Amino acid sequence: MNKKTNEDGPTKQEGLSREEVKSVKTRRRLRAAVVYEIIRTEGEGELARAFSALWWSGVAAGISIGFSVLSQAMLMAFLSDSPGSNIIADLGYSVGFLIVILSRQQLFTENTLTAVLPVISRRSWSWFWVLVRLWGIVLAANLVGCLLVAAFLAYSNALTPEIAAATVRIGEHLMANTPTEMFVKGIVSGWLIAALVWMLPSAEGTEIFVITLITYLIALGGFTHVIAGSVEAFYMVMTGHTGMLQAVFGFFIPTLLGNVAGGTILFAVLSYAQVRDEV
């Protein structure tokens, strides 16, 4: 199609009105390099945040993610043994992630991508230690939040017997995995969360759908998430259904390594590789 110079810019597509040309520009999908820059810039802001801001945001995220477990258990208890009940109950898993992400709270697994891209682009050891600082603060804060919500669920008598029993079933399903399975399933979960972070800049107006879809897939596939799973693991320890050593070495460490491998070593590195020549 021929183009001609006009007063609104260097070129204009012949046959299109001024409004239509603007519509074409606004409806174009973001290039991968643009998405990368959006996330990298956001990551630099996160790396520069003060300890107190990261800490309290991380604690809030740990508490909020507890609603994934609680919502899933409530749906499971309500549906009981109805046909397809687990498939529907798994939708509850998305609730905590919706609260965390839309409230802009600090979740460790999001930072396996967001905070990593600036470090990869800078290629400096000083930035690596800034990343370790961020990860350490956010992970510790998330776990404190998980511990608080697990203690509330276990000791407050706020749960009905049916919901408490459903929560135990969810925890038993998690702890039935071997450490190797925890690690491998954690890779998938880490990749999906990183993919979710990568998709959000292009998901204007559909964020709720995207978050729900991706996190629902994690629950549906039985993939392991180190923060949401920590609520379940803490609850199982507090109610005497599992031991602390099993929770730490059977769940937490292999899942943590799997999430980092999926979100950072695989997704973040590959995402940077595809835009390296453009940025």
- Which pLDDT score, from 0 to 100, does residue 27 have? 54
Alpha-helical (H) ranges within 28-50 are 32-47
Angle at which helix 179-199 crosses helix 207-221, to 10 degrees, equals 170
What is the extent of the structural domain holding 107?
31-275
Residues 24 and 36 placed together within one structural domain of the fold: no
Question: Dihedral through CA 193, CA 57, CA 206, CA 17, nearest 10?
Answer: -110
Residues 95 and 161 placed together within one structural domain of the fold: yes
Residues 141 and 18 placed together within one structural domain of the fold: no
Residues 6 and 109 placed together within one structural domain of the fold: no
Identify the CATH number of the domain in which residue 159 sits: 1.20.1080.10
Residues 13 and 91 placed together within one structural domain of the fold: no
**Alpha carbon separation from 133 to 115, 119, 137 (Å, rounded):** 11, 12, 6
What is the number of domains present in the chain?
2
Q: Are 98 and 208 in contact (CB under 8 A)?
A: yes
Residues 115 and 211 placed together within one structural domain of the fold: yes
Residues 89 and 166 placed together within one structural domain of the fold: yes
- Which pLDDT score, from 0 to 100, does residue 8 have? 45
Average pLDDT by consecutive 10-residue portion of the chain (279 residues)? 46 57 58 79 86 95 96 93 85 96 92 83 81 94 97 94 95 96 96 91 88 96 96 97 96 96 83 68
Residues 132 and 146 placed together within one structural domain of the fold: yes
Question: What residues are paired with 13 via a beta bridge?
Answer: 3
Residues 35 and 25 placed together within one structural domain of the fold: no
Residues 70 and 87 placed together within one structural domain of the fold: yes
Would you state the structure tokens that stand for residue 193, as one six-digit string?
A: 């969360």
- Which pLDDT score, from 0 to 100, does residue 221 have? 95
Residues 7 and 47 placed together within one structural domain of the fold: no
Residues 139 and 269 placed together within one structural domain of the fold: yes
Question: Ramachandran region of residue 31, left (φ > 0), alpha (ψ -120 to 50) or beta?
Answer: beta
d(CA 165, CA 174) in angstroms, rounded, equals 14
